[in-house]
Chain A
Amino acid sequence: MKRRLITFWRIIRTGIVNFLRNISLAIAAMAIMVVTLTIVLFSIIVNFTFSHTISQITSKINISVFLNDSTTQSQANRLIGELKSLPNVESVQYLSKAQALKIYEQENASNQQLIQAVNETSNPLPATIIIKPVNLNNIQSIKDFLSKPAISKLQSDPPSYSGQEKEAIDRITHATNVLQEMGVVAVAIFAFVSVLIIFNTIQMAIFNRRDEIHIMRLLGAGTWFIRGPFIVESIIYGMLSAAISVLIINASFQASAGALQASSLGLLDIGYANRFFNQRFIELLLVELGLGIVIGAVSSLIATRRYLKFKTR
């Protein structure tokens, strides 16, 4: 047990010493890793920001149902209960005639004449039920329900599907969705290629030291005693690269949020991206570290394998 512990520490210490002694090689390997991890991190942030933008836009869309003045409160309550039990309904809000009037007054506060005119008659605004759907693209079931004769009898006007904005909003959502999907594909391809490049770089670094591995083998060193320090060294590359890429993203947010905003053609909500980055900093750092460690460990593990083999006949 004690021996194992000694060996374990020796492997780690040797890995660190080797890292420091081969620092120039390390920098080459790390440069590529830093670029990859930075782009991965950036695309994670962009992806979350797009999702956020979409959900923000769609959260503004809802269906308003206008009730007859003759509809009783208990009829209204029953309707609300039924609506709530429909699939694809996220929330249902009820506005009485008085509440509807108050909102109307607030929205038109600048137009005193209009308000006066409205106040002179008895409240002309209908009681309103506002339905927020879960998925905006799938409101047919809600439509069907609302157009049932028993239900439409309660309504003063046909329901409003968030006015005329819906179509425009649909287009924006669609465009953002496409961008997001393209981004994911591009990043996946890029990440795959970079992992290959990183793998190659580490393999090259180990290829340059294959004689060393052969010598260690001849001296009777065990597989993990030889391989361990190489893995530790590559893990250090990975961890440092991850830390650097997080710093780069952080610095670019601090230095040039404006430039970023401009370069993304205003499609990206940089404010949110920055907040997202700050709030989820630890998680993002851990993801990056994890990626760096895994890529480093796996590629050095595979790269050392062939030089550790014993001669068969």
Chain B
Amino acid sequence: MILLDRVSKTYSRGSKPSLDRVSLHVEPKEFVIVVGQSGAGKTTLLKLLTREERQTSGKIIVGGIDYDKLKDREIPLLRRKIGVVFQDFKLLPNKTIFENVAYALEMVGMGNKEIRNTVPKVLDIVNLTGKEDRMPVELSGGERQRVAIARAIVRQPKILIADEPTGNLDPKHAWDVIKVLEKINRFGTTVLLTTHNQEIVNRLKRRVVTISDGKIVSDRANGGYKL
């Protein structure tokens, strides 16, 4: 599903690489946790997968698509297959919560009726029923984070990338979110999760990839949290 072959990323010429010859293979339906200290390169790795950034060298193949051969007009189609929970949420500030989630469906041309059916269900999953008409600024950080999660899963993507989706949540809500990710994973979505939360890593008992200074330093099935 996801294949990285000696991928490096240097943001500006001359500075040291944020990712240094990273090789990673993720099977379809796998659940992978990426851990590493702040600044290790986790977000950079995810940005390469969504083509927000381009790798400086190396090969990236996702769902059979070689990113070097990807044309500009194919990028939106690629992104629609990947759900992303951004570390900084990236909600649309001028749209209500409902509209934020619906936007992901509108752009693919889903009918209005279907959208009106789907969005409330997903908002219910993340416990936001009743807040549909609020603007993002009117929500708490944790609530915003859950909107971002709802938007990422509403299209039932083949791949779900979640960058610190529990960062702003108390243990109860954090665990609720993790349970949503597990559920989605059970339905067949490949999940890539980054987190600093030791407890979650230890409880999940999934494959753990550890990045340090832009390099993968360990990759263990059923690993625990260890930096």
Contacts and interface: CB of A to CB of B under 8 A. Distances in A.
B1 interface: no
A215 B112 CA distance: 22
A313 B68 CA distance: 11
What is the interface residue range for chain B against chain A? 20 to 34
A171 interface: no
B80 interface: yes
Contacts of A311: 51-54
Contact of A222 (B56, B76, B90, B104): B76
A248 to B, nearest CB: 31
A220 B106 contact: no
A18 B51 CA distance: 28
Interface in A194-233: 209, 211-212, 215-223, 225
Nearest to B152: A219
Secondary structure at the A interface, as helix, strand, loop or mixed, is: helix
A222 B77 CA distance: 8
Interface residues of A, number: 25
B28 to A, nearest CB: 20
B116 to A, nearest CB: 13
B54 A313 contact: yes
Contacts of B82: 220
Contacts of B151: 219
- List the 5 closest pairs (A to B, CB-CB), nearest first: A220-B79, A3-B109, A220-B80, A221-B107, A220-B76
Given A3-B109, A310-B75, A311-B54, 20 more contacts: A6-B109, A21-B94, A22-B94, A211-B93, A212-B93, A215-B90, A216-B92, A218-B50, A218-B84, A219-B103, A219-B107, A219-B151, A220-B75, A220-B79, A220-B104, A221-B76, A222-B76, A222-B107, A225-B106, A311-B52
Interface of A: 3-4, 6-7, 10, 18, 21-22, 209, 211-212, 215-223, 225, 310-313
13 contacts: A3-B109, A215-B92, A216-B107, A217-B76, A218-B86, A218-B90, A220-B75, A220-B79, A220-B104, A225-B106, A310-B51, A311-B51, A311-B53
